[in-house]
């Protein structure tokens, strides 16, 4: 019922090697002339590439590689693969790994963002055909926020998202790409028609469910072990205009999870009356909360409630609408939410926002954490799928007996249901 997958140590590396070369040895190995000037090892570049979002470990590379093209990456990987001394190589987008998985000790870090604008001048091409409908060809180095901005110009949008949009396409597709839409559409990796990949041998391969399918299914969610994604063909659908965004508070975890499961059981992919998004989060009595979602008049009530219970469970839901008929969306929401929902009376909060404001909602939380000095700090992070049969045990054993009773400092805790068949 919770989020993602436990991430292994070697996430986002291109291939497994058994030895690391030293910095001194790396400098003696001469790369091919056509890419020699792409390597940088000045102190500032090395410092940036020695840490990731987790800020838990530091692994110093011998050099950082700035490719101008996909061919440059292929040349690098082919050189590393054929070299008599194994070379550790890692692709780095926004480096949102948490335990050094996007680092390369004594090896080479590939700065994917240096590919820049290379597809039709923007890195993102929106197209359509009779078999696939609308889709976008997107460079693996592109940020999801830029994908959204581009597709919205055509009235279109990807159907499945991650919570934080300032991540690269190649990075999230190498993991899974899970958010509150996944119960309905599956993760991002379930909404990709085709990939271009640089394999661990330095080969450029196009793959899809029908062409080189073994590589296709290995790379999507493959944690970087089977190649570097340089292009992805992403499914698009018509973009909504606005979003009804709700948060409901619970003091009882059993009622919280029951309501989440009941709400996703009402959803079918093509049912436009269903919820479009469903997540859950914890409000903890352990420090500053980002209350920007709520009206200022509710701040005191919310803080008092969290203080009273220690943990409050927040069900977060959204309903999209594609026209100006707000009254119709309100009625559909009421139909979905009516019945025996167990949220606390007087603790239902609603906002009406643009589609962009909703999808980019974590940006405000990021700015809040930066203002508190809590962004560039260590970020230990664990992602788990917990079976429905054990989720109540997880609440009592971990959330209450560890985090609450032992007063373990905790940042964001997300808990939400998913359909196994997605």
Residues 422 and 278: beta-carbon distance below 8 Å: no
HSE of 85, CA atoms in CB hemisphere, 13 A: 14
Rounded Cα gap, residues 140 and 179, in angstroms: 19
Among the listed residues 297, 185, 289, the one whose alpha carbon sits nearest the alpha carbon of residue 237: 185
Q: What is the pLDDT of residues 134-186, one digit of tens each?
A: 999 999 999 999 999 999 999 999 999 999 999 999 999 999 999 999 999 99
Rounded Cα gap, residues 49 and 232, in angstroms: 25
What is the structure's pLDDT at 3?
40
Residues 405 and 249: beta-carbon distance below 8 Å: no
pTM of the model: 0.88
The domain limits of the chain are: 23-114, 124-238, 242-404
Rounded Cα gap, residues 320 and 238, in angstroms: 11
Domain boundaries 23-114, CATH class: alpha beta
Query: Facing residues of 321 across strands?
Result: 242
Cα torsion angle, 318, 322, 326, 330, sign: negative
SS3 365: helix
What is the structure's pLDDT at 31?
73
Task: Decide if 23-114 and 124-238 have a common fold.
Answer: no
CATH fold of 124-238: 3.30.465
CATH fold of 242-404: Vanillyl-alcohol Oxidase; Chain A, domain 3 (3.40.462)
What the block records as the tokens of 368 is 């809040």
- Which of the residues 55, 163, 290, 332 is marked catalytic? 163
Digit-by-digit pLDDT tens for the chain (422 residues) are 444 333 333 333 232 222 233 444 444 456 778 899 999 999 999 999 999 999 999 999 999 999 999 999 999 999 999 988 888 999 999 999 988 989 999 999 999 999 975 655 568 999 999 999 999 999 999 999 999 999 999 999 999 999 999 999 999 999 999 999 999 999 999 999 999 999 999 999 999 999 999 999 999 999 888 999 999 999 999 999 999 999 999 999 999 999 999 898 876 555 567 899 999 999 988 765 778 899 999 999 999 999 999 999 999 999 998 876 777 888 888 777 777 789 998 999 999 999 999 999 999 888 888 888 888 889 888 889 999 999 999 999 999 998 888 877 777 889 988 888 88
- The phi and psi torsions of 141 (rounded to 5 degrees) equal -85, -10
In Å, what is the CA distance from 413 to each residue of 282, 313, 326? 6, 10, 32
Query: Facing residues of 319 across strands?
Result: 244
In Å, what is the CA distance from 344 to each residue of 71, 211, 314? 57, 52, 10
Q: What is the pLDDT of residues 262-271, one digit of tens each?
A: 898 876 555 5
- Which of the residues 4, 59, 72, 96 is marked catalytic? 96
Among the listed residues 82, 80, 70, the one whose alpha carbon sits nearest the alpha carbon of residue 20: 80
DSSP class of residue 210?
Answer: S
HSE of 410, CA atoms in CB hemisphere, 13 A: 22
- Which of the residues 59, 137, 194, 279 is marked catalytic? 279
Helix (H) or strand (E) holding 355: helix 355-359
The reply to whether 163 belongs to the active site is yes
Q: Where would I find the beta strands (DSSP E) of 251-310?
A: 277-284
The reply to whether 96 belongs to the active site is yes
């Amino acid at each position: 019922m919770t989020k993602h997958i436990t991430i292994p140590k070697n996430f986002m590396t291109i291939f497994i090697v058994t030895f690391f070369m030293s910095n001194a040895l790396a400098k003696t190995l001469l790369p091919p002339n056509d890419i020699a000037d792409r390597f940088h090892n000045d102190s500032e570049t090395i410092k940036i590439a020695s840490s990731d979002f987790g800020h838990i470990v530091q692994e110093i590379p011998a050099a950082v590689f700035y490719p101008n093209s996909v061919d440059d990456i292929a040349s690098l990987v082919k050189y590393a693969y054929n070299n008599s001394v194994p070379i550790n190589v890692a692709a780095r987008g926004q480096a949102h790994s948490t335990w050094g998985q996007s680092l390369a000790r004594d090896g080479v870090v590939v700065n994917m963002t240096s590919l820049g604008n290379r597809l039709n001048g923007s890195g993102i091409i929106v197209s359509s055909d009779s078999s696939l409908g609308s889709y976008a060809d997107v460079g693996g180095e592109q940020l999801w926020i830029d994908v959204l901005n581009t597709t919205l110009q055509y009235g279109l949008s990807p159907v499945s998202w991650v919570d934080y949009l300032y991540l690269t396409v190649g990075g999230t597709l190498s993991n899974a790409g899970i958010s509150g839409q996944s119960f309905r559409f599956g993760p991002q990796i379930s909404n990709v028609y085709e990939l271009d990949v640089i394999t661990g041998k330095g080969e450029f391969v196009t793959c899809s469910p029908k062409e080189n399918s073994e590589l296709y299914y290995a790379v999507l969610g493959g944690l970087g072990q089977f190649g570097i994604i340089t292009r992805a063909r992403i499914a698009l659908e018509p973009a909504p205009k606005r979003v009804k965004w709700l948060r409901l508070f619970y003091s009882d975890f059993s009622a919280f999870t029951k309501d989440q499961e009941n709400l996703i059981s009402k959803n079918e992919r093509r049912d436009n009356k269903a919820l479009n998004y469903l997540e859950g989060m914890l409000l903890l009595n352990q420090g500053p909360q980002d209350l920007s979602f709520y009206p200022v008049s509710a701040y005191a009530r919310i803080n008092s409630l969290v203080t009273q219970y220690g943990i409050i469970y927040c069900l977060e839901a959204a309903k999209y609408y594609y026209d100006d008929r707000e009254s119709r969306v309100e009625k559909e929401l009421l139909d979905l939410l009516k019945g025996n929902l167990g949220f606390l009376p007087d603790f239902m909060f609603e906002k009406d926002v643009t589609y962009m404001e909703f999808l980019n909602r974590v940006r405000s939380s990021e700015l809040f954490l930066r203002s508190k000095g809590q962004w560039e700090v260590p970020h230990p992070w664990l992602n788990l799928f917990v079976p429905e049969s054990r989720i109540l045990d997880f609440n009592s054993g971990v959330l209450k007996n560890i985090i609450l009773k032992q007063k373990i400092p905790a940042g964001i805790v997300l808990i939400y249901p998913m359909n196994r068949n997605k």
